[in-house]
Structure 1
Amino acid sequence: MTETSAQPEGTPAPRTRIQRRKREAILEAGLTVFSQEGFRGATLDRIAAEAGLSKPNLLYYFPSKEAIHTELLTGLLHTWLDPLRALDPAGDPLAELLGYVRRKLLLARDYPRESRLFANEILQGAPRMRPALEGELRALVEEYATVIKGWIDAGHIAPIDPVHLIFSIWALTQHFADFEVQVRAVLGSEDPFEGAEAHLDTVFRRILRPDADGPRTSA
């Protein structure tokens, strides 16, 4: 029997191992369904079937598909921002930025469903994520854009708009997850990530090296 006497009044009882396992199964199923069907196309019946649960059992843990979707997106945002947070302002600028490109590419490789979930939310106008995008995401981008601007001013990397540089890194790495079907259709049996890492390293190295030719715009 679970002890509850030491539980502070008003505090929910800790979840049992079975409850945690079922919640994880629902979130895993929701991730699969949402990434395939989008929010509008997903149904609780489909998520429950994917999780191997009855719909009433699912509703015991989550009151709606909105609740599942929101919890997935909340966890995803932190995962998505971690590679940028790992950028070291005291490190070698070019190495740090190339490392960020690689981390984002590996995220696209290892978490393609999460990437498509995020992309679907953005394409729908971010109804459930807009506050986080305009708050936490914007603040983090501004913080690291300032770091990149400092590297530019010190002559460590070529003049370039820091925010649009970050946008470009997002676009060129997440493409491999969001358009995975297209990428694999073109490449056939070739692993897209084997060549992508070397290609993106070359692209950004040429853009960012201090002696790079061509017009640049500094923020």
Structure 2
Amino acid sequence: MTDPAPQSRIRKRNTQAILAAALDVFSAQGFRGATLDQIAAAADLSKPNLLYYFPSKEAVYLALLGSLLEDWLQPLRAIDPEGDPIEEMLSYIRAKLRMSRSHARESRLFAGEVLGGADHIRSVLEGPLRDLVDEKAALIRVWMEAGRLAPSDPHHLIFSIWALTQHYADFAPQVQAVLGPGRDPVAEGQCFTETLFRRMLTP
């Protein structure tokens, strides 16, 4: 009997190579400007080989966005209902800032999709994303009503965390240009956001 493991490893390796190449190409060219030929070349695969794994440019793009969104949402999922509310929220903010450093291209690609109307991921935004945000907003509201967090609108609190933390990825050239050389925007941003949100969240 043929061992399927080598084929599975090859599939996984090639799929990862395609998605890594697609991130480079889509980040530089956008969805409209990117081509399958560019992605295949960046992945060091032939175009027919790429099409064996993904039937179209849109399929590659959707798989990439799905993977990025899963990574992006993981810190939100990790907010623990049994933890200390302020520390759980600050931990989420720290994780989002770390991702602004480690996943800057991914953040900009996602932002570009949303700014373009989110046509490719609208069902995700209106389905799983909204469900998760509603779930965490409900938890935050419970903490607020128990006097464990300062009162505010939980949904807009989450939006403000997204806006501030992702700014360091989506507008990195602007931030670095304003701060000047030798400054670390994310490290400084962590100090600032820690102070800001601790004050905002403390009852």
Write the distance in 2 (CA, Å) between the matches of 1:71 and 1:191. Answer: 32
Write the distance in 1 (CA, Å) between the matches of 2:7 and 2:175. Answer: 42
Residue 152 of structure 1 aligns with an amino acid whose one-letter code is M
Pairing 1:1-219 to 2, within 5 Å after superposition: 2-3=2-3, 15-187=7-179, 188-210=181-203
Where structure 1 has 5 or more consecutive residues not aligned to the other structure, the ranges are 5-12, 211-219
Deviation string, structure 1 residues 54-98 (Cα, Å, up to 9, x no partner): 323322322211011011111222111110111111211111111
- Give secondary structure in 2 for the equivalent of 1:75: helix
Structure number with the higher helix fraction is: 2
Where structure 2 has 5 or more consecutive residues not aligned to the other structure, the ranges are none
Give the match for residue 10 of structure 1. Answer: none
Rate the CA distance shift 1:14–1:143 in 2: closer, same or farther, 3 A: farther
**Quick check: 1:39–1:120 contact (8 Å CA) kept in 2?**
no
**Quick check: 2:111–2:170 contact (8 Å CA) kept in 1?**
yes
Normalising by the residue count of structure 1, what TM-score does the alignment of the two structures yield? 0.86
Residue 189 of structure 2 aligns with an amino acid whose one-letter code is A
Write the distance in 1 (CA, Å) between the matches of 2:6 and 2:118. Answer: 32
Query: Percent identity at matched positions?
Result: 60
Rate the CA distance shift 1:141–1:14 in 2: closer, same or farther, 3 A: farther
Count how many residue pairs are aligned between Structure 1 and Structure 2: 202
Residue 195 of structure 1 aligns with an amino acid whose one-letter code is E
Aligned-pair RMSD on alpha carbons? Answer: 1.8
**Quick check: 1:33–1:46 contact (8 Å CA) kept in 2?**
yes
Residue 193 of structure 2 aligns with an amino acid whose one-letter code is L
Residue 179 of structure 1 aligns with an amino acid whose one-letter code is F
Please report how far the alpha carbon of residue 147 of structure 1 lies from its aligned counterpart in structure 2 after TM superposition: 0.8
Please report how far the alpha carbon of residue 189 of structure 1 lies from its aligned counterpart in structure 2 after TM superposition: 3.1
Normalising by the residue count of structure 2, what TM-score does the alignment of the two structures yield? 0.92
Write the distance in 2 (CA, Å) between the matches of 1:108 and 1:2. Answer: 44
**Quick check: 2:100–2:186 contact (8 Å CA) kept in 1?**
no
Rate the CA distance shift 1:151–1:19 in 2: closer, same or farther, 3 A: closer
**Quick check: 1:25–1:51 contact (8 Å CA) kept in 2?**
yes
Write the distance in 2 (CA, Å) between the matches of 1:35 and 1:108. Answer: 15
Deviation string, structure 1 residues 19-52 (Cα, Å, up to 9, x no partner): 3222211110001111222211211122122112
